[in-house]
Structure 1
Amino acid sequence: MTETEIERDGAGTGTPVWITPLTPLSFLRRSADVYPDKTAIVYGERRHTYAEFAAEVTRLAHALRGSGVKPGDRVAYMLPNVPEMLVAHFAVPLAGAVLVAINTRLSAPEVQQILDHSGATLFVVDSALHPRVAPVAGELKTVDEIITVVDPAAPGDGIGSGVRYDDLLARGSDEPLQWEVDDEESTISINYTSGTTGQPKGVQYSHRGAYLNSFGEIVHSTHTPDSVYLWTLPMFHCNGWCTPWAITAIGGTHVCLREVRGDVIWSLIDEHRVTHLNGAPTVVTTIMRAPEAKTLDYQLVITTAGAPPSPTTILQMEQMGFRIVHVYGLTETYGPYSVNQYQRGWDSLEPEERASLQARQGVGMLQAERLRVVDKDMVDVPADGTTMGEIVMRGNNVMTGYYSDPAGTEKAFEGGWFHSGDLGVMYPDGFVELRDRAKDVVISGGENISTIEVEQAIVSHPAVLEAAVVGVPDEQYGERPKAFVVLSPGESADEATLIDHVKSKIARYKAPKAVEIVEELPKTSTGKIQKFELREKEWGEGGARIKG
């Protein structure tokens, strides 16, 4: 066939018509065909085969369209890791819409801000969470309808004015749909991250990026059709690192989990012989410290990020039968971007030395480009394990941009690479290790907390003159915010009062672990607060915080 005989598509891209755009929607279509009777989803007593999974996704996609959702519209979900949240990762894009998964720990004003900014037209919320957003339900600018999911495991005390999820499904049909998209670069989801200012930024993921990232998760976490994956990582966090699509692609089993509790996790591990789970180091700590903890008679893979697991933790988990896969990334990189790729040469090293090497952030994953560590002129720093620079990334595993924020997008991609804001070093073997953050974001249990946002909440108390917040060590969460506060002359306030005040202003998990009243804050000659001095006080000389 000659070039002139090749039929091209109508989009003007020059792509032959037999080349189909990449989308993770194709994963469920395939698994429903290949494994129709296999258990796809487990939640309590509920069981869904892959055929049933695909059928509910189809019905919900029709229901969304029947509810007025048009191609490109944003549909917001605020649910824990229940089956309905998993279904949404396929049904919303199958309807041609964009999924906006909202952090279940946010306060009502924060939720409203995301809904308004994204322009979501339909909002699906868990009944137990509905009372939290009810105060702003009548003030939403774009939401036409609120749908409530009632979970018998935690029904909540208020259903609200929206219709129930079952009523929404009743609007759908079983008519077959095409599990494909016209443009693989179109947006499949928007994930909000607070950044350093506390203002949410909508990180846009494409169908192509989600498709390719899923393969990276399959390869580096060693998933197979026999994988039994426990949902300890929130699906609202970077779309669960694209794992809703990855596990479905390989035909594994999703074990849903409403809340992360040590006793429940161990019960599900025993009942289902869980093979894989993901999460921040706090999840690893929860598993290790649970009274039910024991040594497994098989290997369970834990993929972790948010902060590097300590060498001691790695060794302890290995002794219990776990294998740690250490990854690193940001919301802007679909979650994991790099992996600590294990080297067989490390087998001969002393356990402590080997574990120390495993605590590094590593190299670009299979589907990603390599990591670079650059100076302010975008020149690679020497690979000496000492010279620090900023970590930058690019490729299919990087967001397409911030939603409705061209200026923010342009700044993030100065020089043609995404600027992580993280400082690290490059080793001679090509592995990267984080040394500090250019941003002052506190990473607590895998969640980003803006210190500026916390400071503003503290300063809003009438007794406070100045405040500075830094991350301090925490055994369970890796680090937690601590506030250093200067009171106004003649005013008084104690630690408990200020912490309670912060909790009334922003999400409770962002509140400082401790508040220290000081006479003054360390400042430069120009009046800028020197946070590194505060960090040194808490972390030791250098104020080092190594994060993943």
Structure 2
Amino acid sequence: MNVPLVLTEFLDRAVKLYGNKKAVYCDERVFTYENLAGRVNQLSNGLRDLGVEKGDRVAYLAPNTVEMLEGFYGIFQLGSVMVPLNSRLTPQDYLFILNHSESKLLFVDQDLYHLIAPIKDKLATVEQIIVHYKDHETPETDYEQWLAGFNASSFDREELDENDVSSLLYTSGTTGNPKGVMLTHRNNYLHALCTMHHLRVRDCDVYLHVLPMFHVNGWGAPFYYTANGATHICLKKVTPESIFKAMEEHKVSVLHMAPTVLNALLQYYEKNKPKLEQDVRVVIAGSAPPPAFVTRVEKELGWEFIQVYGMTETTPLSLVSTIRSELQHLSPEEKSRIKAKAGYPMIGCDVRVVNEYGEEVTRNGKEIGEVITRSHGVMKGYWKNPEETMETIRNGWLHTGDMGTVDEYGHIDIVDRMKDIIISGGENISSIEVEGALYEHPDILEAAVIAVPHEKWGETPHAFVVLRENRQVSEQEIIAFSREKLAHFKAVTGVTFVNELPKTASGKIQKVHLRNDYWETKGKVGRFVN
């Protein structure tokens, strides 16, 4: 008889093989895998007592805590569906998602309860709100007190099928209402097996939760690090100081984050020079960094840099940038260029870059096409949205909306989102390439590039720039610098200096807000030059 590929198996394995091992550190509390399993059973029994059944949606609004981690397995044991919520949305966003998902229960951290309070009376299906770390003023159920009332030793699980939906994850919704991505147990299980191989996950690993568990490169952690009996370090508030402190105290060996967070760690390291004795792997998802950035991470921090690529709709990871054995002869500079790319397909993922006729682009690193994929990770579909599902998955291929090239070694390089490509005088310009050039300027801390109208060329690149502390540089100097680094048609034609760039909860720069800001101040931003 075949064993179904269901996620509860991962915690079961950890308990059998690593039951007495210290599995989770959360603030001052420490839990073994047996402790964690006991809390999971209490949660499952509590959920059943509240009437939660197989297929019901249960939502979580929480930072990286043991309560968030145990929520996955506690929900799965009932065959219910986890709905993790982005912690940086607005109350109106939560109102839409909770009602659209028809969530039955909501677990929320006390620090985030103020985002729910304004809309709680408008929640159509949420029957109860339970609060982690509840204070005396909050008029809801206290999680720890509630949990303590239920049996920790056992739970009579629902029968699960690997094609049952396990999680419902909502996309950012920058161009409309968020879409709920349905991922199955099979999606997440096979993704975990694939990812743990490519990231070389082992039982001796100590994983620091930097990316939120709701995030595209963060929610796999409860599965593949648990399956291997690794140790989880839950970090509720993420700052460069808290990250380095946790890494030193717990001998952290691996962590996932966005490029902007890693950039902040580099700035902190420059000033404070914290010392770490252990080997560290840092897994980066998001816009491809410039090769010089990769070199800095590996030389200054001494960490192994691993770039990955994926999206919510593919569970998420599909590509990885580690150097394959037949390319070890390349120079350090060439290796850094390769590591900065999205990478080559992971096991079980067929990823291609195709032109408008559906033909694969030439492997020359120049011809641009759309990235499409079919794999074990492709979502079941969008919840209650068959039209968008059919638009995104066509003839068995998921169309990502990302534009890329393929080099001679088969590495895919994401050059832009389809909507972020700048078309100037008929030439395609990658905003990511322009940003990479700007990051080489010694006075620039962060940069983001968008398209703006131009009378002669149709549109040209415009940069939003954050300068390093106590640095001064003019718009004309940055324009001249970009013209030195790039073909002139790719150089920026205007610069806006800002104190910070708008970012998602995971640190990804939100260009949609920069576009909106530009249009609100049209005619006042920067200066156009030919």
State the TM-score, normalizing by the size of structure 1. Answer: 0.77
User: 510, 518, 522: which is aligned to 2:522?
Assistant: 518
Q: After alignment, is 49-58 or 327-336 more displaced?
A: 327-336
**Any conservation in 1 of the 2:38–2:153 contact (CA below 8 Å)?**
no
**Any conservation in 2 of the 1:23–1:180 contact (CA below 8 Å)?**
no
Classify 1:217/1:178 alpha carbon distance in 2 versus 1 (closer, same or farther; 3 Å).
Answer: farther
Residue of structure 1 in register with 2:343 after alignment: 362
Q: What's the CA shift for 1:414?
A: 1.6
Q: How does 1:236-247 map to 2 (within 5 A)?
A: 236-238=214-216, 240-247=218-225
For 1:279, the aligned partner's letter is M
Residue of structure 1 in register with 2:482 after alignment: none
Q: What's the CA shift for 1:238?
A: 3.0
**Any conservation in 1 of the 2:338–2:411 contact (CA below 8 Å)?**
no
Classify 1:470/1:405 alpha carbon distance in 2 versus 1 (closer, same or farther; 3 Å).
Answer: farther
Q: What's the CA shift for 1:214?
A: 1.1
Residue of structure 2 in register with 1:200 after alignment: 178
Residue of structure 2 in register with 1:185 after alignment: 163
**Any conservation in 2 of the 1:101–1:239 contact (CA below 8 Å)?**
no
Classify 1:299/1:40 alpha carbon distance in 2 versus 1 (closer, same or farther; 3 Å).
Answer: same
Q: Secondary structure at the match of 2:139?
A: coil
Q: What's the CA shift for 1:343?
A: 2.4
Residue of structure 2 in register with 1:415 after alignment: 395
Q: Aligned equivalents of 1:236 and 1:471: distance in 2?
A: 30
Q: Aligned equivalents of 1:332 and 1:386: distance in 2?
A: 27
Residue of structure 1 in register with 2:70 after alignment: 87
Q: Does 1:318 find its partner at 2:318?
A: no
Q: What's the CA shift for 1:220?
A: 1.7
Q: Does 1:142 find its partner at 2:125?
A: yes
CA deviation map 1:62-84 (0-9, x unaligned)? 10111111110000000000110
Q: Aligned equivalents of 2:159 and 2:123: distance in 1?
A: 30
> Unmatched 5+ residue regions in structure 2?
422-430, 436-447, 451-460, 469-495, 501-508
CA deviation map 1:106-146 (0-9, x unaligned)? 11001111101100010011111111221101111111111
CA deviation map 1:524-547 (0-9, x unaligned)? xxxxxxxxxx9x979xx9xxxxxx
Residue of structure 2 in register with 1:77 after alignment: 60
Task: Count residues in correspondence.
Answer: 455
Classify 1:223/1:386 alpha carbon distance in 2 versus 1 (closer, same or farther; 3 Å).
Answer: same
**Any conservation in 2 of the 1:278–1:302 contact (CA below 8 Å)?**
yes
User: 223, 237, 252: which is aligned to 1:259?
Assistant: 237
Residue of structure 1 in register with 2:412 after alignment: 432
**Any conservation in 2 of the 1:214–1:242 contact (CA below 8 Å)?**
yes
Q: Secondary structure at the match of 1:316?
A: helix
Q: Aligned equivalents of 1:311 and 1:298: distance in 2?
A: 24
Q: How does 1:202-221 map to 2 (within 5 A)?
A: 202-221=180-199
Q: What's the CA shift for 1:182?
A: 2.8
Q: Secondary structure at the match of 1:298?
A: coil
For 2:16, the aligned partner's letter is D
Q: Does 1:284 find its partner at 2:262?
A: yes
Q: Secondary structure at the match of 1:248?
A: helix
For 1:176, the aligned partner's letter is S
**Any conservation in 1 of the 2:217–2:285 contact (CA below 8 Å)?**
no
Q: Aligned equivalents of 1:68 and 1:207: distance in 2?
A: 22
Q: Does 1:353 find its partner at 2:334?
A: yes
Q: Aligned equivalents of 1:345 and 1:28: distance in 2?
A: 37
State the TM-score, normalizing by the size of structure 2. Answer: 0.79
Q: How does 1:110-189 map to 2 (within 5 A)?
A: 110-150=93-133, 159-174=137-152, 176-177=154-155, 181-189=159-167
Q: Aligned equivalents of 1:239 and 1:304: distance in 2?
A: 9
Q: What's the CA shift for 1:311?
A: 1.4
Q: What's the CA shift for 1:308?
A: 1.8
Residue of structure 1 in register with 2:378 after alignment: 398
For 1:377, the aligned partner's letter is Y
Q: Aligned equivalents of 2:345 and 2:195: distance in 1?
A: 12
Q: Aligned equivalents of 2:217 and 2:188: distance in 1?
A: 9
User: 7, 20, 37: which is aligned to 2:20?
Assistant: 37
Q: Percent identity?
A: 33
Residue of structure 2 in register with 1:465 after alignment: none
CA deviation map 1:340-359 (0-9, x unaligned)? 13123544433222211211
Q: Secondary structure at the match of 2:36?
A: helix
User: 9, 12, 29: which is aligned to 1:46?
Assistant: 29
Classify 1:174/1:44 alpha carbon distance in 2 versus 1 (closer, same or farther; 3 Å).
Answer: closer
User: 91, 102, 107: which is aligned to 1:108?
Assistant: 91
Q: What's the CA shift for 1:272?
A: 0.7
Q: Secondary structure at the match of 1:327?
A: strand
Classify 1:255/1:440 alpha carbon distance in 2 versus 1 (closer, same or farther; 3 Å).
Answer: same
Q: Does 1:57 find its partner at 2:40?
A: yes
Q: Aligned equivalents of 1:369 and 1:511: distance in 2?
A: 33
Classify 1:470/1:254 alpha carbon distance in 2 versus 1 (closer, same or farther; 3 Å).
Answer: farther
Residue of structure 1 in register with 2:488 after alignment: none
> Unmatched 5+ residue regions in structure 1?
1-17, 452-468, 477-494, 500-507, 522-533, 542-548
Q: Aligned equivalents of 1:388 and 1:235: distance in 2?
A: 33
For 1:71, the aligned partner's letter is K
Q: Aligned equivalents of 1:349 and 1:111: distance in 2?
A: 49
Q: What is the CA RMSD across the aligned residues, in angstroms?
A: 3.2
For 2:382, the aligned partner's letter is Y
For 1:326, the aligned partner's letter is Q
For 1:76, the aligned partner's letter is A
User: 202, 210, 235: which is aligned to 2:213?
Assistant: 235
Q: Aligned equivalents of 2:155 and 2:330: distance in 1?
A: 54
Q: Aligned equivalents of 1:420 and 1:189: distance in 2?
A: 20
For 2:47, the aligned partner's letter is L
Classify 1:100/1:382 alpha carbon distance in 2 versus 1 (closer, same or farther; 3 Å).
Answer: same
Q: Secondary structure at the match of 2:189?
A: helix
Q: What's the CA shift for 1:436?
A: 1.7
Residue of structure 2 in register with 1:224 after alignment: 202
Residue of structure 2 in register with 1:485 after alignment: none
CA deviation map 1:142-179 (0-9, x unaligned)? 1111111117xxx6xx7533211123314532352366
Q: Does 1:339 find its partner at 2:320?
A: yes
User: 352, 357, 371: which is aligned to 1:377?
Assistant: 357
Q: What's the CA shift for 1:309?
A: 2.8
CA deviation map 1:392-430 (0-9, x unaligned)? 011211111111111110110122200000111122322
Q: Aligned equivalents of 2:217 and 2:332: distance in 1?
A: 34
**Any conservation in 1 of the 2:182–2:382 contact (CA below 8 Å)?**
yes
Q: What's the CA shift for 1:215?
A: 1.7
Classify 1:205/1:283 alpha carbon distance in 2 versus 1 (closer, same or farther; 3 Å).
Answer: same
Q: Aligned equivalents of 1:244 and 1:57: distance in 2?
A: 13
Q: Aligned equivalents of 1:171 and 1:97: distance in 2?
A: 21
Q: Aligned equivalents of 2:168 and 2:528: distance in 1?
A: 38
Residue of structure 2 in register with 1:530 after alignment: none
